Chains A and B, each alone.
Chain A
Amino acid sequence: GAGVSQSPRYKVAKRGQDVALRCDPISGHVSLFWYQQALGQGPEFLTYFQNEAQLDKSGLPSDRFFAERPEGSVSTLKIQRTQQEDSAVYLCASSLGLSDTQYFGPGTRLTVL
């Protein structure tokens, strides 16, 4: 079956612009996670959802970062007034339940100029 898909795969933004990154989880997966992966580093947790409920957003680095999953399926990570330090790969993962294997998408590489 189809895996986790993310779009766009690449995004270039000028500093100060707003961006929206989309994640389509595996069908039927209840849990959805967002991670940020800086160049040469491991992924770092941002936030996660169970269905439409955002249960933990402790990893969001600032109030410029906002995530939503209004219908419990597709999720959007929005970054307002992008800064150069926001440049990273943003990974989405989904799992059947909260304690099940997380399956990752290919990521969106964001470059802020």
Chain B
Amino acid sequence: QQQVKQSPQSLIVQKGGISIINCAYENTAFDYFPWYQQFPGKGPALLIAIRPDVSEKKEGRFTISFNKSAKQFSLHIMDSQPGDSATYFCAASNFGRGANNLFFGTGTRLTVIP
């Protein structure tokens, strides 16, 4: 059973545009929501993460929006660049209860067209 559902599966955006990737979860015990970026042949790398006590977190061109009541969170990439072309994974974990493994979504392959 997929603990974290991610959409879309793939996304094509023009350079300078906004990329939006959405995730949903069911387990209300989750208390940590990171986004990872993965390039071909590489391991995932942490982009940005949020805890459920805030509704938004911004770091540079990357913003996480979090809706606790809807159990949804999304990644917004502003001014998308060709170098952002990669696969993005949302994830969730239950750090507060000592469960430290991450549950990942199925990934979104982003292509930014020059």
Contact = CB atoms under 8 A, between A and B. Distances in A.
Interface of A: 4, 31, 33, 35, 40-45, 48, 56, 59, 91, 93, 95, 98-99, 101-107
Contacts of A101: 34, 46, 49
A49 to B, nearest CB: 11
B37 to A, nearest CB: 11
B43 interface: yes
Given A41-B106, A42-B106, A98 B43 contact: no
Given A56-B101, A98-B100, A91 B43 contact: yes
Given A4-B43, A104-B43, A106-B43, A42 B105 contact: yes
Contacts of A91: 43-44
Contacts of B98: 98
B104 interface: yes
B89 interface: yes
20 contacts: A31-B100, A33-B100, A35-B102, A42-B105, A43-B89, A45-B101, A48-B100, A56-B99, A56-B100, A59-B101, A91-B43, A91-B44, A95-B100, A98-B95, A98-B98, A99-B95, A102-B46, A102-B102, A104-B36, A106-B43
A106 B100 contact: no
